[in-house]
Amino acid sequence: MEVIISKTYEEMSRAAALDVAEVLNATPDAVIGMATGSTPLGLYQELVRMHKKEGLDFSQVTTFNLDEYVGLPVTHSQSYHYFMHENFFKHVNIPPQNIHIPSGTTSNYRAFCDWYEQRIKECGGIDVQILGIGSDGHIAFNEPASSLSSRTRLKTLAKSTIDDNARFFKSRDEVPIYAITMGVGTILEARKILLLANGRKKAEAVAAAVEGPVTSMITASALQMHADSAVYVDDDAASKLQMREYYDWVQQKKPDAPKL
């Protein structure tokens, strides 16, 4: 795994956005796996800026979001549908028919999940997957003890995740208990994975994911099994990494490294 440590959240977001833009420039019809949460907001703002000021084109892009709360209508201000439209989709030129977000209101979850998996395959698989990380080390809504081969499915949220996400709702009781989420196995099939984390609250989870054993107790640790994953962190989120000096050294020496 490549670990890229930035001084600030803004720098981290910009570095990750440049990585996504590089994929888009090489593959204009790329399939992007999108994440929600406060972490990727800066990355989305930077991509929107590149679209508006530098002509970064999304007209051939297809997207698949990682997850959605069960039971929230798409118009609910905390639904991931709403989040994505407000923070990203309405600011760029992705054709609406190319946007996929799991349904939190389907009448048949199993059939929907099978269709979602099928649709990712039909679109040629995900070229670059953006991820955040939960404070318990989860990716998407793959809570601790999720199978590392899991596919898109309905998941019961951990109490700690409900607590973490309560800040976005009027009260804790309003936080949905269930979600529909891509599985760890689904995520690992993406050709390239970018995980972003910022802030002191994520430091333990980041250290466990990057340097701990591969375990279903920290589903982000499964990225250690992926051949092309990068972890973008700010100083605070990097504060528990034991190999920090090495990661910085690698980045410092990168410009002079033999070209691949």
Residues annotated as part of the active site:
67, 136, 138, 143
Query: In the complex with ligand GLP, which residue's Cβ is closer, 38 or 156?
Result: 38
Rounded to a whole number of angstroms, the minimum distance from the CB of residue 140 to ligand GLP is 5
Nearest CA to 81 among 72, 107, 244?
72
223 contacts 142 by C-beta, under 8 angstroms: no
What DSSP assignment string belongs to 104-163? SS-S-HHHHHHHHHHHHHHTT--SEEEE---TTS-BTTB-TT--TT--SEEEEPPHHHHH
Q: In the complex, what is the shortest distance from the CB of residue 40 to ligand GLP, in angstroms, rounded to a whole number?
A: 7
- The residue ranges that bind ligand GLP (CB under 6 A) are 35-39, 66-67, 132-134, 140-141, 161
Is the Cβ of residue 50 or residue 206 nearer to ligand GLP in the bound state? 206
| Residue 26 C-beta: closest distance to ligand GLP, Å | 26
Nearer to ligand GLP, 140 or 230 (CB): 140
| 238-to-110, 218, 234 alpha-carbon distances in Å | 38, 17, 6
